[in-house]
Amino acid sequence: MSTQQLPVVVIGAGPVGLAAATHLVERGIEPLVLETGSRAGAAVREWSHVRLFSTWGEVVDPAAEKLLAPTGWTRPGPATYPSGGEWAERYLQPLADALGDKVRTGATVTGVSRAGRDRIVDAGREQQPFVVHVEYADGREQRVFARAVIDASGTWATAGPAGGSGLAALGERAAADRITYRVPDLKDPAVRARYAGRRTAVIGSGASAFTALAYLAELAQSEDGRGTHALWILRRGISGSTFGGGTADQLPARGALGLAAKAAVDQGHADAVTGFRTEAFESDADGRLVLVGEDGRRLDPVDEVIVLTGFRPDLSFLNELRLGLDERLQAPLELAPLIDPNQHSCGTVYPHGHRELSHPEQGVYLVGMKAYGRAPTFLAMTGYEQVRSVAAAIAGDLDSADRVELTLPETGVCGGAGLFDTAATSDAPKNDADGCCTASSGPRLVQLAAPTAVDASAKDAPAGGCCGS
């Protein structure tokens, strides 16, 4: 079987997956994009209420814009900031439509291997095509053969647990009806009613936690939210870097989000509990949740819990492939030292391409947020450069593939979702943050919606956000 005549399977129709397909098309290589959701950008649509702290000029892949141009598509104002919903509807969906039948939705990849070879077998391995098992929404199953596999499925579907050990806390699953692992959309009346007048624990220390704290503080100041209070649970202590870069952050929307979270604490809308690693969820006599720490501390009861402790890659369907992954970050071995959140921020991640993303199993690449494993410092434009390099390598153009050029802003650690109409920052330490971001211009002080004495520069300021893959 000649592998060169086979398509390249791309897993995931998010921003980076669609960009990968576009770069392949540009090089005359047939892609097949398999998306488990019913529409392109399914994961992005789940945080449609969140505004990115990246402008339109920074979240559109150049090759994708070129592909879209003949359709009459024009990029929205490059200096404006899209919400997740706008990004999906105004860019990702038109891009998927332009790719046509190269994108299949409702198609879940359940396994990837070499045809006729499990991970043990050496003989003739590299000459065999990849075989991808797909299950469709209507129950049909299919085997697809591919010359290469690009996994851009992201990490959105696998949220970190509340437990401080990386495992679910005791009782966490039993309390699932009162726990969410996403930033709630408090503009949705049903969601708003769930938190209004309630005491909510927020676990995490990245931009998503900042967002939740700011949202809850805004709710507490509204007519229908009186009595709303947050309990902010951090696994570490509070230091000068806890609230991110503030007005010094080169991503102004992100910097302002940290200030908004700090204001939530300073104004009494949230209490911070530091050095607390959740071990168990228990119930009091009234059925409210009591969080118990590894050190034996028991916190006052809460009604709801928002767990924002980052995301992790789902590697289960890649189990028959020979992957070289860092034992801590679950990122490719060559890439891991470059993205270690203990050492690097968005701006200090070295530009990288197909060589850093390669594995012992030649022809398979993890890209986008999936490539970063558990590291939270991903940038959208980094993902676009990754897939440009990977597509060039698959095409055999190693000169182009190795010419990785990308200038990133030196900012604080990127992380998670931000406010829809406010601003964002992140202090994403270790694995307590999530998400991604892209570059922006100089800092502006932006306050949370509806306080008094708003800074003049904040009036039309962008909100924070994530640009996950």
Q: How confident is the model at residue 244 (pLDDT cuts 50, 70, 90)?
A: low
Q: Express each pLDDT in 121-156 by its tens digit.
A: 999 999 999 999 999 999 999 999 999 999 999 999
pLDDT above 90 covers a percentage of the chain that reads 70
Crossing angle between the packed helical segments 380-394 and 15-26, to the nearest 10 degrees: 30
The rounded distance, in Å, linking the Cα atoms of 155 and 311 is 6
Query: In this predicted model, which residue has the larger pLDDT, 342 or 398?
Result: 398
Mean pLDDT, rounded, for 151-175: 96
The rounded distance, in Å, linking the Cα atoms of 3 and 7 is 8
How deeply is 410 buried, as exposed, middle or buried, from its count of CB atoms within 10 A (0-12, 13-18, 19+)? exposed
Residue 389 above 50 pLDDT? Answer: yes
Query: In this predicted model, which residue has the larger pLDDT, 463 or 328?
Result: 328
> Using an 8 Å Cβ cutoff, are 172 and 162 in contact?
yes
Average pLDDT value over all residues in the chain:
85
Query: In this predicted model, which residue has the larger pLDDT, 245 or 230?
Result: 230
Q: How confident is the model at residue 457 (pLDDT cuts 50, 70, 90)?
A: very low
Mean pLDDT, rounded, for 56-77: 95
Residue 413 above 50 pLDDT? Answer: no
Q: How confident is the model at residue 4 (pLDDT cuts 50, 70, 90)?
A: confident
Q: How confident is the model at residue 335 (pLDDT cuts 50, 70, 90)?
A: very high
Q: What is the pTM for the complete model shown? A: 0.85
Mean pLDDT, rounded, for 355-374: 96
> Using an 8 Å Cβ cutoff, are 262 and 425 in contact?
no
Q: Which of 155-159, 237-241, 254-258, 404-408 has the highest mean pLDDT?
A: 155-159
- State residue 30 phi and psi, 5-degree precision: -80, 120
Buried b (16+ CB within 10 A) or exposed e, 26-47: bbebebbbbbbbebbbbbbbbb
